[in-house]
Chains A and B, each alone.
Chain A
Amino acid sequence: MPIWNRKYETMERSEMEQLQLELLQATVNRAYRNVPFYHKKFERLSVAPEDVLSLSDIQKLPFTTKDDLRDGYPYEMFAVPLREIVRIHSSSSATAKPIVVGYTRNDLKHWAEQTARVLSAAGVAKDDVVQIAFDYGLYTGGFGMHYGAERLGASVIPVSSGNTERQVQIMQDFRSTTLVSTPGFALYLAEVMSKLGVSAAGLWLRVGLFGGEPMADKTRSEIESKLNIVATDNYGISAVMGPGIAGECELRDGLHVNEDHFFVEVIDPDTLQTLNDGEEGELVITTLTKEGLPMLRYRTRDVTRIIRGKCKCGRTTARIAPVRRRTDDMFIVRGVNIYPGEIEAILHDIEQVKPHYQIIIAREAGLEQMTLKVELSGDFIADQMHRLVELEELIKHRVHAVVGLTPQIKLVEPKTLQSIDSAQRVLDNREI
């Protein structure tokens, strides 16, 4: 749909590459000068900022991982003094150390520009009423899309996540035309609507922007038919920026990357070599304009491929294919990132159970449910029902405290799960 920033979104390849080279060099120079972490990493690899003389020279630079950000908790990786940071967000994980990201005033300005482009590409304009059902708070999703929608001049409803029945009410009464949420929430919303007897045909909703978790083709068409909208996919990751990194246009032939702000590469996660355009591998992102927390070659663990060439919509920016899987074992339930290792660590600390477990994810009545099967310890005597219930509550409570989501617990007999292999550790029945 309308191209929000014609200058950058339809830029000639050679001009874009010139701009990216300039911005990359400036970013590298600032990161080297202001962030001791990068300074040390450069020295260890014997590279200097002046070794980056072309875009492909980025391959000489070190990677940044989530662990690096954790080790730098909370502010070590910031490239400006804290007083220049005007916003701080953080990852949901309450394990060891979450990751903390900071934005300068200019970063927030750029963020609004980036998400405005993503919204505009999906077909949102100033006359739209945008219902943002992403969590507002430490999570980047809500605020990021909020700024872009405001920049477009749309009417923004910052309803945040949860309270689904009320969301349906708002959608009807406030005449929302646009839904911004996870694809999982959209399906659940449709389910609640049918329970309440609300027909999609009676709504004003016409477009949805979905992110935060993978959206399978099947999920997309289900959302489209149940909510009677055009469903678009967009990509963001908090460590790099949040939403606004890339998004689909109405042709939905890949997600357009905001290349004047982000440099994308795809690498082989095992050899760490950069792959050719079109080859599938792990997405690696370098920020080009970020001041507060510049990221050099951040390993996203998300699997995609880069699509070059002009899109029929007129944009010349590189595109990435929708992300469907990851290179690690992280999975997402209701927009919450969960690592099996976190669950295992919790179970280790509870003496009544063994750290043998299985996670089953399913969609029940539209809502994603995580069930945790846990093997009881041989010494545990389940002589009384209330002891079992107490144990279930304890596990629920601990899991919620760490990952931010309450699972259903199924306690099973000793020695029934111990031989389970890692491929069966997480059973995802959602058909992603």
Chain B
Amino acid sequence: MLKLQSVITYYGRIMALRGISLHVDPGEIVAVVGPNGAGKTTALNTISGVLAPKSGRIVFDGSEVAGKSTDNLVDMGLVQVTEGRQLSADMSVYGNLMLGAYRRSAADKKSIVRSDLQRVFAMFPILEDRRTQSAGTLSGGEQQMLALGRAPMARPKMLLLDEPSMGLAPLVVKEMFKIIAGLCKQEGTTVLVVEQNVKAALAVAKRAYVLETGRVVMEGTASELSKNPEIQRAYLGKGYKQMVE
């Protein structure tokens, strides 16, 4: 579904991505994890067209997309879920959700969009309760749900998620990831999630890449990586002891 080959991206004068390669197969949830400043968000922004790579290939659904605009990519089915605080705060929950469908062609009948809306409400009952409320009045967790709920309205083939757990209470994080797993399972949506909360990400993802200082240093299945001593020590806070060397 998505393939990156040796992508190099500069952030100002800093080489933020030092040639990263990764792939996401159709229907997979893949996580990119790593510490702050490793280049995770840069990677996501490069894929979604917010940043242009200096070199390397990005192939989505069979076509070369490096350097394409975000709108272009949304039309192709590659949708980045915005952070909760980037919603239209003055607009109602309903309005925000309908905004998610705005790029869809006129051929899509209103009735289909309406049934999509019903599916979103089924996944996020809280959004139906708050449908007339303006987005700005929602709690942080609810805003994040709205941002996530807006994504399926664009009927994406693939979702890009940037730190969905950021600023959320642990219980809400759990709920969020459950919904992401459901999206993947029920809708067949492919997901690439960038996450600092390694434990939560590995619990939901099938595979993961570990990014450090703009480089991929490890890749593997989520279960393999969660058992890896280095990952446990660095990210999961387990069994930290003085290293014997």
Please state if A30 and B218 are interface contacts (CB–CB under 8 Å).
Answer: yes
Please state if B21 and A21 are interface contacts (CB–CB under 8 Å).
Answer: yes
Please state if A33 and B244 are interface contacts (CB–CB under 8 Å).
Answer: no
- Using known A-B contacts A18-B5, A21-B5, A83-B243, determine if residue A53 contacts B229 with beta carbons closer than 8 Å: no
Expressed in whole angstroms, the Cα–Cα distance for A49 and B20 within the complex equals 11
Q: Within 8 Å CB of B108, what residues of A?
A: none
Q: List 29 A-B contacts (CB under 8 A).
A: A18-B3, A18-B5, A23-B219, A25-B6, A25-B20, A25-B21, A30-B218, A33-B217, A49-B215, A50-B8, A50-B18, A50-B19, A53-B19, A53-B55, A54-B6, A80-B230, A81-B243, A81-B245, A82-B245, A83-B229, A83-B241, A83-B243, A83-B244, A84-B229, A104-B229, A105-B227, A106-B227, A106-B228, A291-B228
User: What's the minimum C-beta distance from B214 to chain A, rounded to whole angstroms?
Assistant: 8
User: What's the minimum C-beta distance from B145 to chain A, rounded to whole angstroms?
Assistant: 33
Q: Which chain A residue shows the least CB distance to B245?
A: A81
Most buried by A among B209, B217, B241, B245: B217
Q: Which chain B residue shows the least CB distance to A23?
A: B219
Q: Mark A11-32, 1 if CB is under 8 A from B, else 0.
A: 0000100110111011001100
A52 at the interface (CB under 8 A from B): yes
Most buried by B among A49, A53, A80, A291: A53
- Point out residues on B near A: beta carbons under 8 Å: 3, 5-6, 8, 15, 18-23, 55-56, 209, 212, 215-220, 224, 227-230, 241, 243-245
Please state if A26 and B217 are interface contacts (CB–CB under 8 Å).
Answer: yes
Q: Which chain A residue shows the least CB distance to B239?
A: A83
Q: Which chain B residue shows the least CB distance to A83?
A: B244
Q: Is the interface of B mostly helix, strand, loop or mixed?
A: strand
Q: Which chain A residue shows the least CB distance to B243?
A: A81
Expressed in whole angstroms, the Cα–Cα distance for A311 and B224 within the complex equals 31
Please state if B56 and A53 are interface contacts (CB–CB under 8 Å).
Answer: yes
- Picked from B8, B18, B219, B230, the residue with its CB within 8 Å of the CB of A49 is B18
Please state if B244 and A22 are interface contacts (CB–CB under 8 Å).
Answer: no
Q: Which chain B residue shows the least CB distance to A19?
A: B23
Expressed in whole angstroms, the Cα–Cα distance for A271 and B220 within the complex equals 36
User: What's the minimum C-beta distance from B75 to chain A, rounded to whole angstroms?
Assistant: 25
Q: Within 8 Å CB of A52, what residues of B?
A: 19
Please state if A22 and B229 are interface contacts (CB–CB under 8 Å).
Answer: no
- Using known A-B contacts A50-B8, A82-B244, A105-B227, determine if residue A22 contacts B217 with beta carbons closer than 8 Å: no
A-B pairs, 9 with minimum CB distance: A53-B6, A50-B18, A22-B21, A29-B215, A81-B243, A50-B19, A84-B229, A29-B217, A21-B21
Q: Which chain A residue shows the least CB distance to B224?
A: A106
- Using known A-B contacts A30-B217, A81-B244, A83-B243, determine if residue A25 contacts B23 with beta carbons closer than 8 Å: no
Q: Which chain A residue shows the least CB distance to B241?
A: A83
- Using known A-B contacts A50-B215, A53-B6, determine if residue A25 contacts B19 with beta carbons closer than 8 Å: yes
Q: Besides A29-B212, A29-B215, 15 other CB < 8 A contacts? A: A19-B23, A21-B6, A23-B219, A25-B20, A26-B216, A33-B217, A52-B19, A53-B19, A80-B230, A81-B245, A83-B241, A83-B243, A104-B229, A106-B227, A106-B228
Q: Within 8 Å CB of B227, what residues of A?
A: 105-106
Q: Within 8 Å CB of B18, what residues of A?
A: 49-50
Q: Within 8 Å CB of B22, what residues of A?
A: 22
Expressed in whole angstroms, the Cα–Cα distance for A407 and B221 within the complex equals 50
Please state if B6 and A26 are interface contacts (CB–CB under 8 Å).
Answer: no
Q: Within 8 Å CB of A53, what residues of B?
A: 5-6, 8, 19, 55-56
Expressed in whole angstroms, the Cα–Cα distance for A33 and B3 within the complex equals 25
Q: Within 8 Å CB of B55, what residues of A?
A: 53
- Picked from A22, A81, A82, the residue with its CB within 8 Å of the CB of B216 is A22
Please state if A84 and B21 are interface contacts (CB–CB under 8 Å).
Answer: no
Please state if A84 and B230 are interface contacts (CB–CB under 8 Å).
Answer: yes
* Interface members, chain A 73-97 (any B CB < 8 Å): 80-84
Expressed in whole angstroms, the Cα–Cα distance for A54 and B245 within the complex equals 34
Expressed in whole angstroms, the Cα–Cα distance for A26 and B218 within the complex equals 5
Q: Which chain B residue shows the least CB distance to A21?
A: B21
Q: Mark A57-84, 1 if CB is under 8 A from B, else 0.
A: 0000000000000000000000011111
Expressed in whole angstroms, the Cα–Cα distance for A41 and B241 within the complex equals 31
Q: Which chain B residue shows the least CB distance to A82?
A: B244
Q: Within 8 Å CB of B230, what residues of A?
A: 80, 84
Q: Which chain B residue shows the least CB distance to A49?
A: B215
Q: Within 8 Å CB of A29, what residues of B?
A: 212, 215-217
Q: Which chain B residue shows the least CB distance to A110?
A: B224
Expressed in whole angstroms, the Cα–Cα distance for A81 and B8 within the complex equals 31
User: What's the minimum C-beta distance from B26 to chain A, rounded to whole angstroms?
Assistant: 12
Q: Which chain A residue shows the least CB distance to B22?
A: A22
Q: Within 8 Å CB of A84, what residues of B?
A: 229-230
* Interface members, chain A 106-145 (any B CB < 8 Å): 106
User: What's the minimum C-beta distance from B67 to chain A, rounded to whole angstroms?
Assistant: 17
